[in-house]
Amino acid sequence: MEVKELGHLVLYVRDIGRSVAFYRDVLGWRQVLPKPDGAGSGPLPMPFAMFNAPSGRTHHELLLIEVGPDAAGLPAGRRVGLYHFGLKIGTSDDELRAALRTLQEAGATVLGATDHVVTHSLYIADPDGNEIELYVDVPGMDWDDAELLASPPRALQL
């Protein structure tokens, strides 16, 4: 068996409306289902929303499923499970700076910015505390250079 690519990500969220507003309106994902007219609500027994990136690369890349306000939160500190997922948002620090302004204007939680040598990253949290890395690749880096890939991260000033 050989994995060809990461296909999609599914997240449980407390409030589907709040999460849709974040992923669609702040991060710019394209909502696939349900459609604005309510079509395609689907067979799931709870509210959900399906998205793909504006590129339309596949049927969906992100699925949100509402589990309600009483769902347990993410435990703090070291734990087993998802740490974050990364979303490439462009090719320059100018695009990261523009993203930072958009996030700040929307009142999103910004956790920090890191220079990973091969990428520059902005870390944020969605409304349920799921961590997201928004990044750009640094031009001219050799992705086959293991030493470069293992370089210690540094603070990034945007």
- Give the pLDDT band of residue 46 (cuts 50, 70, 90): confident
Is residue 78 one of the residues assigned to a domain? no
Is residue 73 one of the residues assigned to a domain? no
Shared domain check, 61 and 13: yes
Kindly report whether the peptide bond that precedes residue 34 is cis, defined as omega within 30 degrees of 0. yes
- Mean of all residue pLDDT scores within the chain: 90
Is residue 1 one of the residues assigned to a domain? no
Supply the range of the domain harboring residue 130: 84-155
* Predicted TM-score (pTM) of this structure: 0.90
**In this structure, what CATH number is given to the domain that contains residue 53?**
3.10.180.10
Encode pLDDT of 49-106 as tens digits: 999 988 878 889 999 999 999 999 888 888 888 899 999 999 999 999 999 999 999 9
CA distance 23 to 53: 10
Is residue 4 one of the residues assigned to a domain? no
Supply the pLDDT for residue 109.
Answer: 97
Is residue 120 one of the residues assigned to a domain? yes
